[in-house]
Amino acid sequence: MRLIIAEKPSLARAIADALPGRTQRRDGALEVGDTWVSWCLGHLLEPAPPDAYDPRYKQWRLDHLPIVPERWRLVPRHKARGQLKVLRDLLKRADSLVHAGDPDREGQLLVQEVIEHLGWRGPVARLLISDLNRPAVTRALAALQDNRRYQPLYEAARARSRADWLYGINLSRAWTLTGRQAGHDGVLSVGRVQTPVLGLVARRDIDIARFEPRPYHVLWADLTVAAGELRAWWQPGEHHPLDDQGRLLARAPAEALLARLPGAEGRLTRLDARRKRQSAPLPYSLSALQVDAARRHRFSAQQVLDVCQALYERHQLITYPRSDCRYLPEEHRAGMGTLLERAGAGDATLRDWLAGTDFTRRPRAFDDARVGAHHALAPTGKPFAPERLSPPEAAIYRLIARNVIAQFYPMLETREVKAEFTILDETFRAQGREILVAGWKPLFTSRDEAPPLPALTEGEPVTVTNADIDDKLTRPPEPFTDASLIKAMMNIARYVEEPAVKRTLRDTDGLGTEATRATIIETLLKRGYLVRQSGNLRATATGHALIQALPDAATRPERTALWEQRLRTIAEAEEAPGPFLDGLLADLRELLAAADAGRMRQALGETRGLGPTPKKPASGKPASGKPASKKAKASSRRRRSSQSGSSDMTGKSTRRGTRRTTRQGEDT
């Protein structure tokens, strides 16, 4: 008997449907001929809590830290015991086994840890599925690989899990205990990704609060040229008072020049006109989609992830959504026209977009060299019926389809003009943009472009017909939103100060992963460290206090982004997990030595009243974790003593229809 273990029931059903023969439902499994397909419910196992290694760890004490297991253990999740028994019984009868976890690092860990925990000693095949439609699943079943090929991916995922346990358990206990000594009642959760993300928001809030607007002044002039009129802006020289962005801080020089400008004549001294061609934006990765959907539809990052999971699992309209790739396999190009036309036949919007396509084009988005374990989000070809979807589902599907359809449109062609004028020995500049071939552009915006400059000839005379000064104020940084915070996590090198690390992190995956960024934001909201205000994300007083009390290195992104780099080298078999974990332990001991109740007390005092207050959830328990009554306090203390000590490790849950499945809280 062959046993296939899928990551979740929806994937198991798709596999069973693609197998030849009649499917019979069994307890926790599907039987198709001589093949049984069963499933996990997200992670069936979780790292054992500290007291599983030593009962004295039930009591939180600073002198216990760091807690480092000599031999790592996994324990069944409370609601997973029934499914584990199903898998154990099936493995006893199986003579061959297929691992069908999702095609990513966590998917590799999720199924393989169960296989090892249940003691299977035989060979294991690997089934990689990124599209739940029957033809795609059938192709994947015909292309099984040896699971040993993915052992480095498993090692990386396991190293990540253990590192997160060590970091979260020890630092959360340390700062919770120092917080109690300083008068804070509640768990202070520290995570190797969630805390730097909180640090980004807290520092942005402080920059906004401390910002002092400064006036600056912009002098413009309307010019007459042979072919018409245009507006140009004065470029004050360095001998004038300028800020670091070249803005004029004193009005007097502008006033002096303005008085001389009416009727003044000059010449066009430099003209740069270039024709540019621009390809369509690439198909989406999950994070890129979350950024766009937040800007266009005000969807939260978690909402986008949940919608994508529904489109993938329940409706089978899109390919695997938790992808960090923006390219598609070259083999998909030939059939993409038929696939998209079939998908869009029932929707007027998609039909309009498809009318402008040329499927003989060879778009840059189809590039095998840039496709890894999974490819960009794309329609599966299943007909899209918007009336059967919720409005958010239809909106997200159209965004995904649009970015793939746009690959088969002509390039956007523009004429970019930069003109520099000399008037009264001063420099004025103007620039314009003319669209020559709209190409894919109308699929993305209906806004009118700024008018192009009139035809210009270098050296031609110009005359000033009007001029004035616009008085402006510098503006503070914008508060983070879901879109800008996801983008910051994607491009974390911008927020790194050390030049060598900044160079190293440029062009890497950034902070967190595609699968975890939305969860990280929601975790910080639920724990009362962040709140949403009018679409913006702001740090609470508790969030600010935690950031101030922690060592600076624990609140900045360098460490965790470099973790991701190390994990990638492990996943690519370029490094063993041991040195990575040894380095982590050295860092951990250094951080623990900095736990100080005095610093925490000072942080709590300085941040009291700083930041908005999180709303209380319906249960009456504040999001900060502070119990609402004496009875609740006692219950909370008992619960904290019996658990692992860090809610960083509690995992994440995502809605799958009426069933909840859980994967461990990767990178939270």
More confident residue, 355 or 651: 355
Mean pLDDT of 68-82: 94
Q: Is 611 exposed, middle or buried (0-12, 13-18, 19+ CB in 10 A)?
A: buried
| Angle formed at CA 101 by CA 658 and CA 77, multiple of 5 degrees | 60
Are the C-beta atoms of residues 662 and 42 closer than 8 Å to each other? yes
Each residue's pLDDT tens digit, 268-318: 999 999 999 999 999 999 999 999 999 999 999 999 999 999 999 899 999
The catalytic residues are 320
Question: What's CA 63's distance to the chain center, in Å?
Answer: 37
Each residue's pLDDT tens digit, 652-667: 333 333 333 444 444 4
Q: What is the CATH number of domain 299-408?
A: 1.10.290.10
Q: Is 620 exposed, middle or buried (0-12, 13-18, 19+ CB in 10 A)?
A: exposed
Token pair 């996801």 is at which residue? Answer: 486
At 9 the three-state DSSP class reads helix
CATH of 156-210+478-629, one of 3.20.20.70, 1.10.10.60, 1.10.460.10, 3.30.930.10: 1.10.460.10
pLDDT at 509: 61
Each residue's pLDDT tens digit, 419-476: 999 999 999 999 999 999 999 999 998 665 667 999 999 999 999 999 999 999 999 9
pLDDT at 507: 57
Each residue's pLDDT tens digit, 571-587: 999 999 999 999 999 99
Q: How many angstroms separate the CA atoms of 245 and 477, rounded?
A: 14
DSSP 8-state assignment for residue 174:
H
pLDDT at 24: 95
Each residue's pLDDT tens digit, 195-228: 999 999 999 999 999 999 999 999 999 999 999 9
Are the C-beta atoms of residues 340 and 380 closer than 8 Å to each other? no
Nearest to 29, CA basis, from 93, 70, 86, 68:
86
pLDDT at 213: 95
Token pair 């970015």 is at which residue? Answer: 403
pLDDT at 449: 65
Looking at 102-106, 565-569, 609-613, which range is the least confident one? 609-613
Helices and strands (DSSP H and E) totals, the chain: 22, 20
More confident residue, 607 or 248: 248
At 368 the three-state DSSP class reads helix
Nearest to 160, CA basis, from 202, 96, 104:
104
pLDDT at 388: 95
* Portions of the chain given CATH number 1.10.290.10: 299-408
pLDDT at 631: 42
The tokens for 290 are 């979350």
How many C-beta neighbours within 10 Å does residue 98 have? 21
Looking at 351-365, 369-383, 631-645, which range is the least confident one? 631-645
Q: How many angstroms separate the CA atoms of 197 and 146, rounded?
A: 38
Question: What's CA 24's distance to the chain center, in Å?
Answer: 39
Q: How many angstroms separate the CA atoms of 639 and 647, rounded?
A: 11
Strand ordering across the sheet containing 96-100: 23-26, 29-32, 35-39, 2-6, 96-100, 124-126, 145-146
CA 395 vs CA 173, 185, 216, 382, 398: distances in Å: 43, 43, 42, 16, 5
More confident residue, 72 or 513: 72
At 59 the three-state DSSP class reads coil
At 523 the three-state DSSP class reads helix
Are the C-beta atoms of residues 621 and 627 closer than 8 Å to each other? yes
- The per-residue b/e assignment along 316-329, b for 16 or more CB within 10 angstroms, e otherwise, is bbbbbbbbbbbbbe
Are the C-beta atoms of residues 539 and 121 closer than 8 Å to each other? no
Are the C-beta atoms of residues 454 and 230 closer than 8 Å to each other? yes
Q: How many angstroms separate the CA atoms of 59 and 67, rounded?
A: 12
Mean pLDDT of 376-391: 95
Q: How many angstroms separate the CA atoms of 596 and 178, rounded?
A: 6
Q: Which CATH class is domain 215-279+412-473?
A: mainly beta
Nearest to 586, CA basis, from 550, 564, 559, 565:
559
Token pair 């039987």 is at which residue? Answer: 31
* Portions of the chain given CATH number 2.70.20.10: 215-279+412-473
pLDDT tops 80 at residue 621: no
pLDDT tops 80 at residue 604: yes
| Cβ-Cβ contacts under 8 Å for 576 (sequence gap 6 or more) | 155, 570
pTM of the model: 0.84
DSSP 8-state assignment for residue 575:
S
pLDDT at 508: 60
Each residue's pLDDT tens digit, 233-270: 999 999 999 998 999 999 999 999 999 999 999 999 99
CATH of 2-143, one of 3.90.480.20, 3.40.50.140, 3.40.50.300, 3.40.50.2300: 3.40.50.140
Each residue's pLDDT tens digit, 326-339: 999 998 999 999 99
Token pair 């030939």 is at which residue? Answer: 334
The tokens for 266 are 């000059």
The H-assigned helical ranges of 19-142 are 50-53, 81-93, 105-117, 134-141
Each residue's pLDDT tens digit, 115-150: 999 999 999 999 998 888 888 899 999 999 999 999
Residue 504 banded pLDDT, cuts 50, 70, 90: low
Are the C-beta atoms of residues 300 and 480 closer than 8 Å to each other? no
Q: How many angstroms separate the CA atoms of 664 and 22, rounded?
A: 34
Helix H or strand E segment including 164 = helix 151-181
Each residue's pLDDT tens digit, 23-64: 999 999 999 999 999 999 889 999 999 999 999 999 999 999
The H-assigned helical ranges of 310-378 are 333-344, 348-354
Looking at 255-259, 359-363, 490-494, which range is the least confident one? 490-494
* Portions of the chain given CATH number 1.10.460.10: 156-210+478-629
pLDDT at 471: 97
How many C-beta neighbours within 10 Å does residue 443 have? 18
Each residue's pLDDT tens digit, 538-560: 999 999 999 999 999 999 988 87
* Portions of the chain given CATH number 3.40.50.140: 2-143
Helix H or strand E segment including 159 = helix 151-181
Token pair 């610093």 is at which residue? Answer: 599
pLDDT at 617: 44
More confident residue, 610 or 2: 2
Beta strands 426-437; 412-423: pairing state: antiparallel
pLDDT at 474: 95
